[in-house]
Each structure stands twice: as C-alpha cells, then as structure tokens.
Structure 1
Amino acid sequence: MINVPKLETLFLWGNKLSGSIPSCISNASMLKNLDLSNNFLSSLIPDTLGNLRHLEWFQAFENNFTTEFVTHEWSFLSSLANCRNLRRIDVSINPLKGLLPTYIGNLSTSLQYFYADDCELKGNIPMEIGNLSGMLHLSLWNNELSGSIPASIGGLRNLQALDLHSNKLGGPISESICGLERLDTLSLWSNQLHGPIPTCLGDMTSLRYLHLGSNKLSSAIPSTLLNLQDILELDLSSNYLNNSQPLDVGHLRSLVRLNLSRNLLTGDISSSTGGLLTLLSLNLSANKFHGHIPESFGGLISLEFLDLSHNNLSGIIPKSLEKLS
C-alpha cells in the first residue's frame, strides 16, 4: 500500500521496474509530478490516476503499457480529465494501439505538452483536439494515423510545435494551420498529403523548421515561402513540386539545411543560393535543373553536404568550389 499523503514528486524513470502501476498510487493524493519512463512496466495505465487531482506532470514513455485487448480504449485519458492542473502527458513508445479518443478534448485547457509517438495508433485525429487551447507541443509521430489533418488544430493558437511525421495522413494541408502564429516547428514529412503547399505558410514568420518531405504534394513551390527569413531548415523533398523559374532563396539568410531533392524542379539553379553563408547542407538532387553550377556556390563557406546529382547540369565544375575544400 502506498501511504504518503504529502508526496508531491515521484521520479522512478530509468530503472528496470516491471509489473503494473499499482492502483493504490491514488493514495498519494497530493502528487504533482509522476515520471515512470524508461522501465519495463506493462499492463494498463490505471484509471485511478484521475484521482490525483493535483497532478501536473505525467510521463510514462518507453514502457510496455497496453490497453484493453478488445476495445483498445484509452480510458486513462478519460480519467486524467479530472486533473485540471495537468500540463504534460507523455506516453510515447508504448504498444497502446487503438484510436485516439474524442474525449481527448475533455482534458484540461492547462495541458501544454501531449506526446503519443510510436504508440501504434490508428484512425483519425479527432477534431476535439482543437479544444486544448493551452497546447504548446503536440506530437503524434510514427503511428498509423489516417484521414486528414483536422481544421480544428487551427484553434491551438499557442502551439509552438506540431509533429505528425511518419503516419498515413492524407488530403491537402489544412490552411487552418496558417493561423498558428507562434508555430516554430511543423513536421508533416512521410505521410500521404497531396495538393499544393498553402501559400499562407509564408505568413508564419515564427517558423524555424518546416519539414514537408516524402508526401504527394504538387504544383509550384509558393514564392511566399521566401518570406520566412528566419527559417533554419526547409525540407520539401520527395514530392511532385515544380518550378520553371529559378527559386530565389537568397533572402533566407539564416538557413542551415535546404532539401528540395526528388521533385520535378527545372530551370537554372539560382545564383542567390551562394549567398547563404550559414548553409550546412544543400540537396537539389534528382530534379531537372539545367545550366551551369553557379560560381556563387564558392561562397557557401559553411557547407558540409552538397548533392546536385541526377540533374541535367552542364558546363565545367566552377573553380570557386575549391574554396569549399
């Protein structure tokens, strides 16, 4: 029996604990921080966690927690709706399976961090997720989520990071995402998204990391993306994007990684690319670029990786590239 009525913090992460979470943990009624991560715990996450009315922080990632064999119901989320001060939930890397329930929208609006990565989730992202108005980070990567990205995500006005990569999400990228004015990271790579890149993404001046690679996006790369002058990483690789005019990326002065590989881009490579003094990695391979390699590439003094393979480039290799050695 757990009988520690004044206990506020219980950290047991990074051990070799096994078995289940005892339901009597609710006896620690003043508990605020509970971290059971990186153990060998299994069975169900108990509904009695909902009795911890002061709980603010619950982490249980990297265990072997499951859900009911038949329903795979995430009932523990329903119980955690009783914890009105809850700020963080992390149940990543557990074989929970099942669907993300609609009652996720009943969680406290104080919730700021929700991580359910690599949990074997299926089905749609419920529109009720848009009720979590206090959310800062939402991460559901490496699951089997399908359907479209719900427009209700645009209601998470404080969101700073949205990571949905490595799922089976389809449909177009919802323009409601453009309303997330504080978004720093948008990671949607390795899905089945199609249609154009929304031009309004160029209005999201807080973006530092935009990863849309390995989808089925088509049409031209919108010139509005060149408004993201503080962006650090831009990955649009492995899509069906096309541009007949040189993409003038010279204004992206903070750019560290640019990957436009495996698209249908044509025309000349813009000489303005050589002005990106902070660039570490540049991948323009497997497109249809033609003309010469710009002499200006010799100005990429920080460059560590350059791939221009499988294009239609001609002429001689510029001597300016010797500056990169």
Structure 2
Amino acid sequence: MKMGNFWVFQNQCMYLFFIFISLSNNFTLSLQQQNPSNEVMALLGFKQKSVAADPQGFLNDWRLESLTPCSWRGVSCSLHGKVNMLNFTGAGLTGCLHMDDLMVLDSLKHLHLSGNLFSGNFFPMLEFKNCANLVALNLSNNSLYGTGIPRSLINCQLLETLDVSFNKLEGKIAAFLGNLRNLKHLNLGQNTFSGNIPQEMGSMCGTLIELDLSGNELSGGFPETFKSCNGLQRLNLGSNQLSGNFLTTVISYLPSLQILQVPFNNISGFIPVSLINHTKLQVLDLSSNGFDGNIPSGLCSNSSLRRLLLADNFLSGTIPADIGNCKRMEKINFARNHLSGQIPSEVWKLSNVHDFVMWGNNLSGEIPKDICSGTQTLEKLALNNNGFTGNIPASIINCANLSWLSLSFNQLTGTIPAGLHNLQN
C-alpha cells in the first residue's frame, strides 16, 4: 500500500472515531431511556461507530425503538430470539470497521461483511475477544489494511470459514492460523502477503476442504505438512512466486483433490506423472509456469477432468490421444507452448468442450471436416500461429455458440465458408 493511502485511511478512521466519542454519551442515555435489549444496543453501537455512509439505505430499519433486532435487514435470529447471523453482503456500507460491539453478541455464528467499502487497520480495530461461537467470518472485498492477521482470531476456535480475500493486507501469513483446528474454508487470496507459507498451517489438515492463497507475493514451496490434508478438495496457489517440486512431494498425496490451480508461478520441470492418480481431479491449471517436456499420458484415466489448462509453458512433443478419454472436458488450453504434430481425432471429438485453445504452437494437420456436426457447445476455437493446412471446413457454420474464432497465421487455403456470417455470437 502506498504511504499516502495509508494515512488517508488512518485519518478517516480517527476522524470517525472522535465523532463517535463525542456522541456516545447522548447515544447511551437515549438507549437507557428506551430500555432496548442488549443486542439492540450492540448493533446500534456498531452502526454508529463503524458505518459512516449507507447509500443504499440497507440499515434504514435499524431503529432505537425496536425491542428486538430480529426483524432488521441483514439480521437473523435463532429460535430463542438471539442474533446468530449478520449478513451485509454487497450492502455498500462505508466506514471504519470495529468489531467490539459485534463481539457482545454471544450467539453470533455467522458474520458476512463481504462486498462493502469498510476500511481500517486490521489490527487495532478488529479485536476478536468474545468470538467463541463464531463459525463463519467473511470480510472479503473491502479495503482493510494492515500487516498480517490479528492474533485475537485464535479465540475463535469454532471457526470453519475465514475469508479476508480482496483486501490490502500484507506481511507474512500468521503461523498461528494452524491452531484453528476446525477450519474448512480459508481464503487469504488477492492481498499482498509475502514470504513462505507457514508449515504450521498443515495442522488444519484434519478439517480443511478449501485453501486459497492466490494473488499474493508468496515464495518458496508448499510445505510437506499439508501431505496429511486428506479432505482437501480445492487448492488455489495461483499468481504467486512459488517454486520447487511440491506437486510431486505434496500435491500427489492429496486423494480428495478436485480443483488444483497453480498458474503464474515459477514452477519448472516435467509435469508430474503422479497427477494421474488424482481420480477426482476436475480442474488442473498449471499455466504460466516453466514446465517443459511432454504432456504426460494418462491424465484422463480418471475421466473426471473438466478443465486442462497448460498454456504459457515450454511443453513439447505431441498431444496425447488419450485426452480424448476425458468425456466431461469443457476447456482445453495448450496455447503458447512448443507442441507439434496433429491434434488427435479423439481430442477433436470431445463433445462437451466450450474452449479449444491451441494457438502459438507448431501444430499441423487439417481442421476436421465434421467439426461441430455432433455438438454445438464450442464457444472458443483458437488455432492461430500454427501450421494448419487445408480448408476451413464448411461444417464450422454449425458451431452456433461460437464467440471467438482465430485461424490466422496458418497455411489454410480455399474459400471462407459462406454461412460464417450466421454465427451471431
């Protein structure tokens, strides 16, 4: 974060804090006169202290005369009439976020503040002192800044979901997060966290289902302590500076993995054959790294694969014919590699493919004359900058959903199909 922006945020928050102090006596007296519940007092305190602007009128029905907040917008209560959920997702609220009033709500389990314009330093303003019952905390898509994550989160031992993505947090990822042994979903993506991924975080493996550390400045590898994450289904490490052979030493040991995303890193070497053993894998994104060698055969032996993204590497050799066994395949992107030879007929015949992107290779052969004859799912066909020969097949006019067609810089001959103008997308 730029220093100028830091001081702007800090000054705004301090200004609002002093306004709150100046009004607090009158506010407390008024609350006492109306005799509302403690939860009404806590929520109105949060509103006055944290919300500087409410352009959508999201909190208009939060009124002092209410004896209970259970009918207020964004508030849900248990059968016993206690507040157990606050959901301000996309409410457009602006202000400097403070948590002290909300921590008074001893039955609060779910707190969703995603998609607002809350700012503030994550450390002094977000203290989690009484969060023993908190199960889900979503602070994503705000403007929170600060170094690291407040250690007071260690008090939230029942926490299953923690999402602070798309903020302005920096520094190293806190090792103490490994002590949150009930976490199932952890998203720290799209901040500027740096340094290594703490090996202590592997202690979450007993419950962890989803881990997203993408869009940061993390370096090193993926710690071997995560090898025991038998239930991990979705892992996104993309857009960092990670390197090493952790795909073999760690990722290969994760039997439940369904989504693996590691694009835009510094990983090199061969694509590990051990990835073939992931029978549940649906998305494999290794694009924009330094992989070389061949695309391994057998990636589709499990037939679950839906997206195979290997663009922007240094892969060579031919495209394995057994990729045609991925009958559920929706997206293939092998662009900007050094692949050669013809695209196997088995791959051309995949009937569920939306994106077929092969541009920037040394591929040859002809485009099949029956393309889109058996399916109309194809939306993107990018074969430019290769060595394809022959005609543009007339059957291409059957690709009714085609939105991107790129055949330039090849050796195609003949005429352009007359019905091409009928492809309205």
> Does the alignment reach a TM-score above 0.5?
yes
Shift of 1:28: 2.0
Structure 2 match to 1:193? 267
What secondary structure sits across from 2:268 in the alignment?
Answer: strand
What secondary structure sits across from 1:242 in the alignment?
Answer: strand
Shift of 1:58: 0.8
Shift of 1:91: 0.8
Shift of 1:298: 4.8
The higher radius of gyration belongs to: 2
Structure 2 match to 1:118? 190
Change (3 A) 1:135 1:246: closer
Say whether 1:64 aligns with 2:170.
no
Distance in 2 (CA, whole Å) between partners of 1:315 and 1:37 is 53
Change (3 A) 1:128 1:3: same
Counterpart of 2:112, as a letter, is: D
Report percent identity of matched pairs. 30
What are the residue-to-residue correspondences of 1:224-235 with 2, within 5 Å?
224-235=298-309
Say whether 1:202 aligns with 2:280.
no
CA deviation profile, 1:304-323 (whole Å, cap 9, x unmatched)? 21111111223344455454
Match of 2:121 among 43, 46, 54: 43
Is 2:354–2:378's contact at 8 Å kept on the other side of the alignment?
A: yes
Q: TM-score, length-normalised on structure 1?
A: 0.90
CA deviation profile, 1:54-97 (whole Å, cap 9, x unmatched)? 11111111222222xxxx242x2x32222221111111111111
Mean alpha-carbon deviation: is it higher for 144-153 or for 296-305?
Answer: 296-305
Shift of 1:27: 2.2
Larger RCO (CA under 8 A, 6+ residues apart): 1
Matched residue pairs, number? 318
CA deviation profile, 1:130-181 (whole Å, cap 9, x unmatched)? 1112011111111111111222222211111111111121223422212222
Match of 1:52 among 118, 131, 146: 131
What secondary structure sits across from 1:123 in the alignment?
Answer: strand
Say whether 1:266 aligns with 2:340.
yes
Segments of structure 1 that go 5 or more residues without pairing to the other structure are none
| Bigger helix share | 2
Is 1:53–1:82's contact at 8 Å kept on the other side of the alignment?
A: yes
CA deviation profile, 1:14-68 (whole Å, cap 9, x unmatched)? 232302314343322232112222222222254631421111111111222222x
Is 2:163–2:188's contact at 8 Å kept on the other side of the alignment?
A: yes
Structure 1 match to 2:83? 7
Change (3 A) 1:250 1:65: same
Is 1:173–1:193's contact at 8 Å kept on the other side of the alignment?
A: no
Say whether 1:31 aligns with 2:108.
yes
Structure 1 match to 2:296? 222
Shift of 1:292: 2.9
Distance in 1 (CA, whole Å) between partners of 2:319 and 2:182 is 47
Q: TM-score, length-normalised on structure 2?
A: 0.70
Structure 2 match to 1:131? 203
RMSD: 2.2
Is 2:288–2:311's contact at 8 Å kept on the other side of the alignment?
A: yes
Mean alpha-carbon deviation: is it higher for 91-100 or for 147-156?
Answer: 147-156
